[in-house]
Structure formats: C-alpha cells, structure tokens
C-alpha cells in the first residue's frame, strides 16, 4: 500500500470512530426519537427486547387474535380481536364475542404505551403472548385488579399455544377460564344481526385489552 493510500485509510478509520462515538451520544430527544431502553428480565429469545415494540409486532397482523385463557371472570365466550388500524402509539381493533348467546362487537382503541397493559411473554414466532392487565377500580373498590390473558394468533390454533406461553401463563395464573373452543371460528363467519356497543360511548374509545 502506498503512503498516500495508507494515510487516506487512517483518516477514513478515524472518521468512522468519531461517527460511532457521536451516534452513541446522540441527543435522541432533540431529533424526536425515543431511545430504546432494554427491559430488565425480558426474554432474550424474543424478536425484540423492548416491550412496546414487541406488543406492536404481536398486534400487527391481519390474523384474528383469540383470547385463549384468562383469569378474569368469564362472562363471555369466543372473544376475538381483528386489527383495523395500528401505528406507533395505538391500535384500533374490532372485538367480538358471545354474551348470553348473542354476538357483541365493539371498536376499541388501545394505547400501546399504556401502563395498564404489560407484555409478560411473547413466543419466538409470535404465535402467542401472555399479557398482564391492570384494571383501575372505582372509588369504592379496595385496589386495582390484575388480570392475565393468554392470547393466540389464529394460525396457531391447530397446535395451540407454545410451551413457553403455557408455562408462563400457568406460573402467573393460579386459576383461569378457557375461553376459546373450536366452535368459536363460527363467530368470524356469522352474518347474524349483532349488537354494536361500547358501553354507551361513541367509537372508537380508549380501552384495555380486556
């Protein structure tokens, strides 16, 4: 290598080092980018270490997402979510279920960075997820209610939730109710008149995953 070429190589390498150092010290808030922060204790085998991004990836699908098991009081059957719109901050979905043998559907807006929903586990291929939901009570209640949901994408129902999802849900949920059955697929094909309700509010509304 000639002397001029060697000097040029050294200058190029020095410039790369400076750029790398500057990038690490980049003022993310100034350029309008939220700097990712690794989540302590989150499963490293997942597609991402960041819970907000993982929740978005799990919900970003045209596949229906079913409530498979839950620790909540089971007053409904065959609950399923169909995504209508999603962005970095929120998702608008159509939730359908049977209540007293009648089909109920509702548009719900879920804030992805809300502190009330927390992704506890996401399977490697995003087949299923375990979600912790904090329901803020009314003034008369003693404290917040914690609910755990096991949710499964439609394409994975033939095999069921992954072993990882089942183990994590069993560890968190002492008692739970099975919500999904094979007959629930009929709710996606049902053309019967349905009750469109969102607890008396206009659509869409801010809501929980439960």
Confidence of residue 102 (pLDDT cuts 50, 70, 90): very high
- 12's enclosing H/E stretch is helix 3-24
Does the structure show a pLDDT above 60 at 33?
A: no
Give the β-pairing of 102-111 and 117-122: unpaired
Strands (E), the chain: 65-70, 77-86, 90-99, 102-111, 117-122, 128-135, 145-153, 177-178, 195-196, 206-207
Q: What is the pLDDT of residues 17-29, one digit of tens each?
A: 444 444 344 443 4
Q: What is the pLDDT of residues 180-203, one digit of tens each?
A: 999 999 999 865 444 444 333 334
Do the Cβ atoms of 162 and 122 come closer than 8 Å?
no
Phi and psi based region of residue 5 (left: phi greater than 0; alpha: psi -120 to 50; beta: remaining): alpha
Measured distance CA(71)–CA(207) in Å, rounded: 18
How many Cβ atoms sit within 10 Å of the Cβ of residue 198?
17
Task: Give the per-residue pLDDT at 4.
Answer: 62
User: Measuring CA to CA, how many Å separate 144 from each of 114, 119, 128, 131, 209?
Assistant: 15, 18, 25, 16, 15
Give the β-pairing of 102-111 and 206-207: parallel
Measured distance CA(68)–CA(73) in Å, rounded: 14
């Amino acid at each position: 290598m000639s002397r001029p070429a060697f000097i040029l190589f050294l200058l190029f390498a020095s410039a790369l080092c400076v750029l790398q150092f500057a990038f690490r010290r980049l003022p993310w808030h100034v350029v309008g980018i939220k700097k990712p922060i690794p989540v302590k204790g989150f499963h490293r085998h997942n597609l991402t270490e960041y819970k907000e991004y993982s929740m978005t990836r799990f919900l970003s699908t045209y596949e229906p997402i079913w409530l498979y098991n839950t620790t909540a009081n089971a007053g409904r059957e065959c609950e399923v979510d169909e995504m209508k719109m999603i962005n970095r901050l929120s998702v608008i979905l159509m939730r359908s279920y049977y209540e007293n043998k009648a089909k109920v559907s509702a548009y719900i807006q879920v804030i992805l960075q809300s502190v009330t929903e927390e992704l506890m586990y996401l399977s490697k291929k995003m087949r299923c997820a375990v979600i912790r939901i904090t329901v803020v009570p009314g003034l008369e209640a003693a404290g917040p209610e914690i609910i755990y949901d096991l949710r499964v994408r439609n394409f994975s129902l033939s095999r069921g939730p992954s072993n990882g999802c089942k183990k994590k849900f069993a560890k968190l949920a002492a008692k739970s109710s099975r919500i999904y059955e094979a007959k629930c697929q009929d709710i996606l094909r049902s053309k019967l008149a349905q009750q469109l309700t969102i607890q008396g509010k206009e659509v869409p509304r801010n809501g929980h995953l439960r």
